[in-house]
Structure 1
């Protein structure tokens, strides 16, 4: 009798570097992850510019800012993403290590960014900017929420290309055999183990599905006329997507021990799930409050 061999996918031979130039003392390398950040900001910028040029989408048919003001805001947001994302990774995932190696905290080129930290950084930067320029925070949050999913999708695809943040071992039809650290983590097994391509799950749920829903809300149902609604759906949608995907995603190594192989940090939840719960609750709160507000004309 023949033994059935699970159908798995060998990880494609992809380099984390798109291209590099070596001109003597000058060396430049463009990583896919950096390209994902650039592409995410560019697509988000185009979406917001289009929305600001369409007055009928906004309350009282009046956009909350002009183009020049948004370009100023963009600088604040970039700083919020970088600083918040890095500090979030340091505080949420490796506080002990960076307490012992504080000089490495600003070394973002070595890797280590947390979405939840970047999210908090963007919220703080946008709130400070909006208060300074007297821009309604509800409309500002809606605008940024609409523009965020493309960057999330590209970032998760870059995670897949980099063979990082992979999923738990699995023998299903689209399981992937990842190289590098993923293969080493399977060294105790009798054969190379395949895993869930959880990065692509996240790209689909947080980026494609959630982003499409928000665009339909904005352009099909003019959800911007209820300030806070789009932001609320984004918060809840991202939190729920991340909570679900964490069931298939390998927990971060620093949380996995012999007595805690699933990497749970509280009540059986992984760190990503624990950090997503407040997003879900906050999102539901803002969405319900927006829907209970005055009906737009």
Structure 2
């Protein structure tokens, strides 16, 4: 159901879900601000910057990586974002860079704020994939399992379920004392593992594929996931060791 038709009005389902999701996420963010005693103005300034950067980064990666030949011939179509065309990793990387730059400019700890926003990253991704499901994009390969949708893997729903599980886990995980940035890297690790696995069931355009020893044929998204898995795992391990050393140095 890519559109909801009300008379002559056509509402893209994806953007309807995204709009409702953003409204919910902003309310939830406001509650987290009160819960953790954060500076409200800076929090929402950062949140808006993240959303804008994610939108632009996701759109530009789609334009330059997935459909450059098409947009080169019809550049005005780049502005027609309501017709679809976003790449998650483009938005993720752009929002990280924007958030890091903004925190550095305001002399705030990026890792501390990344941890604060981490549960929202997982929840927002789950809600975004729900929009993908209704729009019919990011579809899966053919299958005949009981939960198949028109004999295809409901890959968007796999991501929704996986991210909701990660979200609940992160809410419990953030209650423990952790080194700055570790909670954020836990989401990066878990999300990348989830995305790497779900990619095997995707049947839409995946870009170039690469044959790797032991791993087999992988998409560019899976290679990015592998990179994030290695980086996040290393950060989690090293930061945990640093915390242990700090506790060991304390006088008993």
**Are 1:147 and 2:103 an aligned pair?**
no
Q: 1:242 aligns with which of 176, 186, 195?
A: 195
Larger helix share, 1 or 2: 2
Distance 2:172 2:4 in 1: 33
Superposition pairs of residues 15-26 of structure 1, within 5 angstroms = 15-18=1-4, 20=6, 22=8
1:220-275 CA-partner distances (Å, limit 9, x unpaired) = x335x42111110111111110100011111417x5xxxxxxx7345311232122
1:110-144 CA-partner distances (Å, limit 9, x unpaired) = 21001100101110110111011111011111122
Figure out how many residues of one structure are paired with residues of the other and give that number.
242
1:161-191 CA-partner distances (Å, limit 9, x unpaired) = 12222111112222221xxxxxxxxxxxxxx
What TM-score, normalized to structure 1? 0.73
Q: 1:233 aligns with which of 186, 192, 209?
A: 186
Structure 1 residue 294: Cα displacement: 3.0
Q: 1:197 aligns with which of 146, 149, 154?
A: 154
Q: 2:176 aligns with which of 222, 225, 247?
A: 222
Distance 1:20 1:133 in 2: 46
Structure 1 residue 283: Cα displacement: 1.8
Give the match's secondary structure for 2:149. strand
What TM-score, normalized to structure 2? 0.85
Superposition pairs of residues 1-297 of structure 1, within 5 angstroms = 15-18=1-4, 20=6, 22=8, 29-55=10-36, 65-177=38-150, 194-205=151-162, 207-218=163-174, 221-223=175-177, 225-252=178-205, 255=207, 264-267=209-212, 268-294=217-243
Distance 1:105 1:96, change over 3 A: same
Structure with larger Rg: 1
Contact 2:12 2:82 in 1 (8 A): no
Distance 2:7 2:96 in 1: 37
Contact 1:232 1:285 in 2 (8 A): no
